[in-house]
Amino acid sequence: MLNPAATTVHPGTPRKIIRSKDDLAINGAPPAFAETLHVGRPNIVNRAGFLQRVDQVLDNNWLTNNGPLVQEFERRIAQYLGVRHCVAMCNGTIALEIAIRALGMEGEVIVPSWTFVATAHSLYWQGITPVFADIDPATHNLHPDAVRRMITPRTSGIIGVHLWGRAAPVEELQAIADEHGLKLMFDAAHAFGSTCQGKSIGRFGACEVLSFHATKAFNTMEGGAVVTDDDELAETMRLMRNFGFKGYDNVIHPGTNGKMVEVCAAMGLANLDSFDEIIAVNRRNHAAYKQALAGIPGISVLDYDPVERNSHHYVVAEIDGGCVASRDEIIAALHAENVLARKYFWPGAHRMQPYRDLFPHAGLMLGNTGRVADRVIILPTGTAISPEMIGDICAIIRLLAEPA
Ligand code: T4K
The stretch 128-152 carries a mean pLDDT of 98
Q: What confidence category does residue 18 fall into, taking pLDDT thresholds of 50, 70 and 90?
A: confident
Taking only the tens place, the pLDDT of each residue in 281-290 is 999 999 999 9
Q: How far is the CA of 295 from the centre of ligand 1 (A)?
A: 31
The span from the CA of 239 to the CA of 252, in Å, is: 8
Ligand 1 mean position to 42 CA, how many Å? 10
Per-residue confidence (pLDDT) for residue 13, from 0 to 100:
54
**Nearest residue to 114 (alpha-carbon basis) of 151, 149, 155, 163:** 163
Mean pLDDT value across residues 180-196: 98
Distance 212 CA to ligand 1 centre (A): 10
Strands 183-187, 155-161: pairing is parallel
Q: Band the pLDDT of 7: cuts 50, 70, 90.
A: very low
How many angstroms separate the Cα of 314 from the Cα of each of 163, 223, 304? 10, 19, 10
pLDDT at residue 6 tops 50: no
Q: Cis before residue 4, ω within 30 degrees of 0?
A: no
* pLDDT-derived band at 14, boundaries 50, 70, 90: low
Q: Whose CA is nearest to atom 24 of ligand 1?
A: 116
**Structure-model confidence comparison of residues 15 and 129, the more confident one:** 129
Q: Is 29 in the pocket of ligand 1 (CB under 6 A)?
A: no
Query: Does the pTM of the predicted model rise above 0.85?
Result: yes
Regarding the beta carbon of 338 and ligand 1, being less than 6 Å apart is answered: no
Q: How confident is the model at residue 247 (pLDDT cuts 50, 70, 90)?
A: very high
Residue 165 CA to residue 111 CA, distance in Å, equals 16
List pLDDT tens digits, range 205-217: 999 999 999 999 9
Does residue 19 surpass a pLDDT of 90? no
Whether the CB of 43 sits within 6 Å of ligand 1:
no
- Does residue 93's CB lie within 6 angstroms of at least one atom of ligand 1? yes
Nearest CA to ligand 1 atom 36: 40
Q: Do residues 260 and 220 touch, judged by C-beta distance below 8 A?
A: yes
CB 161 less than 6 A from any atom of ligand 1: yes
Q: How confident is the model at residue 72, as a pLDDT?
A: 98
